[in-house]
Structure 1
Amino acid sequence: MHERLIVPTPGRGLIELSTRINQCLAERRAGDGLLNLFLRHTSASLILCENADPDVLQDLEQYMQDLVTDGDRRFIHRAEGPDDMAAHIRSVLTANSLSIPVRAGRLALGTWQGVFLWEHRYAPHQRELVLTLLA
């Protein structure tokens, strides 16, 4: 299976994708295998994270804001505004791909795990996610 998902983002923040990915797997009648998720962007990322308490997502965003400050005076690259270079650094510090087992056509996630796209830019974007299931 090879599929492409377009994910609209409202701007900076985390968007859970687990349900949408499971729907895609069900539509393709996926069985067991290993799903590779690849995000084709350099200013957004993918993470596997706690999905039960929204405070976790808020704390992650706050920590990242403290770690990588928008418009840091040390940044030379400012082609698309003060959040541009910070978004690239955030992406490098996290991940642009994940591999997750699939069992009986569903992500084999732990009880409190979810797959999230983390948009690092303030402006809305259309992000492309490539799903490849190896059976």
Structure 2
Amino acid sequence: MYHAKEFTVPTQGRGFTDITRDVQQAVADSGAKQGLCTVFLHHTSASLILCENADPDVRRDLESFFARLVKDGDPLFVHDAEGPDDMPAHVRTVLTQNSLSIPVKDGAASLGTWQGVYVWEHRASPHRRRVTVSVVG
């Protein structure tokens, strides 16, 4: 059995958008009791993360770390066609991921107690990001 659901995630600019409920709904809609869920983000300047969902300081600290690691406007980067955050957004995506695999157990994505699924927007301005959740069960 294979089921896929696509949805759009509006972001507010650089930061995190929790899509855990959307992923869980896609798994529930699939009817699979056991299997594998793949979450895929169709972009090169945003990423997906499986992250702590209880303390927002974790996400704030991640953003602070990446702001230090990959600075906007760094003269190292040549690719800046869409502004000073253009290449840094691509680097951030390459250093993270645009796909997650999550087991399906008892009809739900089997996440840990403190895990949530997030779209991490790496661009400064808001975007609409396309996500596909595929379930094989």
TM-score by structure 2 length?
0.95
* Residue identity in the other structure for 2:46: A
CA RMSD of aligned residues (A): 0.9
Residue correspondences, number: 135
SS of 2:73's equivalent in the other structure is coil
Contact 2:37 2:103 in 1 (8 A): yes
Contact 2:41 2:48 in 1 (8 A): yes
* Residue identity in the other structure for 1:108: S
Contact 2:32 2:136 in 1 (8 A): no
Query: 1:2-51: CA deviations, max 9, x gaps?
Result: 11111111110011111121122223333211001111100000011110
**Paired residue for 1:9?**
11
Q: 1:82-93 alignment to 2 at 5 Å?
A: 82-93=84-95
Q: 1:48-127 alignment to 2 at 5 Å?
A: 48-127=50-129
Among 19, 22, 37, the alignment partner of 1:20 is 22
Contact 2:33 2:105 in 1 (8 A): yes
Structure 1 spans left out of the alignment, 5+ residues: none
Query: 1:86-123: CA deviations, max 9, x gaps?
Result: 00000000001010001122110111111111000011
Contact 2:26 2:133 in 1 (8 A): no
